[in-house]
Amino acid sequence: MYIKIGEKNVSLDEIIEKLEIFEHGKAEVITPEILRDLSKYKYPYSISIYLDLSPQMRIKGGWKIVLKDEFKKLEGEVESETLRKVNLLDTLKRVERTIELSLPKLGRGVAYFIGEEERFFSLPLEVPNRVVLKGSFFIRPLVRLFDEYERILVLLLGKEHARFIISEQGILREIVSFISEDYVLRKDFGVKVVRIPGLEEAKVIWHVKAVTKVIDILLNMLGVNGFVLSTSTPEVKSELLERLSKKASESYKGDFSVSVTAPLTEVKEKITPLLALIERDSEIKVIDEFINSVPEKESSRGLESTLESLYFKKVYRFITRDPLYVEGYECGECGYLSTVTLKCPMCGVEMQEIHDIVEAALEQAILQNSLVELVRSKDAKEKLEKEGIKVGAILRF
Ligand SMILES: [Zn+2]
């Protein structure tokens, strides 16, 4: 089967190839896997840079001034021998140039990591400006980016058009789009436009069948949590829903409405309410399970007991209302977190005061491969509140 992309006819194999390039190309969106990967690197001098790139910071290159100031602060903090080795001025120039070149593609913030190689990521949220120089990458400011319903496949479907988009952490990327063309029909009739009864419908069905195949490929390859749909007519929608595979039917999360040729900014605007609903339903499902179905010994309720479960790597799913900031203490030796103890009960050293213990706990959860549920919807928050819980966990067993 061939599908027309632009002026070129491509096969399903070529679409798969395109997807592989999409998946393994330069990462634009940070994932828990990348975070775990970044946490493993230990260089003598690693620089982690966080920059707020919201619109007001972009006016007259405001972010550049901030970047320079942050690097200046660094000079005051580290020893001169370290400074000579990393050559801060060169680094600053290089980072500034790289960010400047990528600026149109970057979201409301950027995270930039410099070790033996450099990697940077577009962030959907503003982050406090910060430059940190130490032996490993400072990834903690990124932990609130993750939630389970982070990756959704968006399909815009017309009678001939189909566009496949990935929505992830507020960033939309178009993966593949095509216009179906029925070659058999064309060859048989020898002309481009043929008006015979039933032909238009036959073409639509052919197109929809091609689309279902691409949906299956994408669901298998991209590890998305579900897909949503906008169709040009109700007929196209019912044709598609009838023909979905079992897996695709189970992944279908609902529809919205936008023109099949709409720019991504408009798609993002139109899809946002639907994504919020999906997120709310998923949160409610998790919270209901946590409150009603998980036995007491397989869960922890409350911050202090959850911190202890984290320390012993027992957390299967970490649950916290969001945003939630709690001051507390962290052991620099073993990572023990507590809201009360000054001295680490595990290794006896003095603990350091930190202003956000939830963030530290989220980091531990992600690095331990726990699932993370940031409860943001009003309904799900109320359910937690009724139980008197702000932070909790479902434990591994
Ligand atoms: Zn300790």
Complete edge-to-edge strand list for the sheet that includes strand 42-52: 118-123, 109-114, 42-52, 130-136
Q: What is the per-residue pLDDT across 211-228, written as a single tens digit (0 to 9) for each?
A: 898 898 888 887 787 999
Residue 5 has pLDDT above 90, yes or no: no
Q: Which residue has the higher pLDDT, 145 or 234?
A: 234
CA of 199 to the centre of ligand 1 (A): 73
Q: Find the mean pLDDT for residues 101-111.
A: 87
Higher pLDDT, 15 or 373: 373
Q: Is the pLDDT assigned to residue 56 strictly greater than 80?
A: yes
Ligand 1 center to 331 CA (angstroms): 5
Residue 42 alpha carbon to ligand 1 centre in Å? 21
Q: What is the pLDDT of residue 10?
A: 63
Q: What is the pLDDT of residues 293-331, one digit of tens each?
A: 999 899 999 999 999 999 999 999 999 999 999 999 999
CA of 295 to the centre of ligand 1 (A): 30
Rounded to the nearest whole angstrom, what is the distance from the C-alpha of residue 330 to the centroid of ligand 1? 8
Question: Which ranges in the chain are annotated with CATH 3.30.960.10?
Answer: 32-145
Stretch 16-35: mean pLDDT, rounded? 66
Cα–ligand 1 centroid distance for 328 (angstroms): 14
**What kind of fold does domain 32-145 have according to CATH?**
3.30.960
pLDDT value for 193? 43
For 165-212, the pLDDT digits (tens) are 988 877 788 888 877 765 444 444 444 444 455 667 777 888 888 889
C-alpha of residue 388 to centroid of ligand 1, in Å: 29
- Taking domain 149-279, whether its CATH number is 3.30.420.60 is answered by yes
Q: How far is the CA of 360 from the centre of ligand 1 (A)?
A: 14
Return the pLDDT at 27: 40
- Ligand 1 centre distance from Cα of residue 25 (Å): 40
Phi, psi dihedrals of residue 322, rounded to the nearest 5°: -140, 135
Instruction: Label residue 89 by pLDDT band (50, 70, 90).
Output: confident
Q: Cα(338) to centroid of ligand 1, in Å?
A: 10
Q: 336 C-alpha vs ligand 1 centroid, how far in Å?
A: 5
How far does residue 348's CA lie from ligand 1's centre (Å)? 6
CA of 43 to the centre of ligand 1 (A): 23
Per residue in 120-164, pLDDT (tens digit) is 988 877 889 999 988 899 999 999 887 655 789 999 999 888 999
Architecture, CATH, for domain 294-395: 2-Layer Sandwich (3.30)
- The tokens of 138 are what? 């400072």
Report how far ligand 1's centroid is from the alpha carbon of 195 (Å).
Answer: 77
Return the pLDDT at 21: 60
Q: How far apart are CA 136 and CA 138, in angstroms?
A: 6
**Ligand 1 mean position, distance from CA 128 (Å):** 28
pLDDT category at 249 given cuts 50, 70, 90 is: very high
Mean pLDDT of 223-236: 91
Q: How confident is the model at residue 368 (pLDDT cuts 50, 70, 90)?
A: very high
Share of residues in the chain with pLDDT > 70 (%): 87
Mean pLDDT rounded to a whole number for the chain? 86
CA of 221 from ligand 1 middle (Å) equals 42
Q: Supply the pLDDT for residue 115.
A: 87
- CATH 3.30.1330.30 in the chain is located at 294-395
Q: Are 155 and 162 in contact (CB under 8 A)?
A: yes
Q: Average the pLDDT over 11-29 and give the result.
A: 61
Pick the range with the lowest mean pLDDT from 107-111, 115-119, 341-345: 115-119
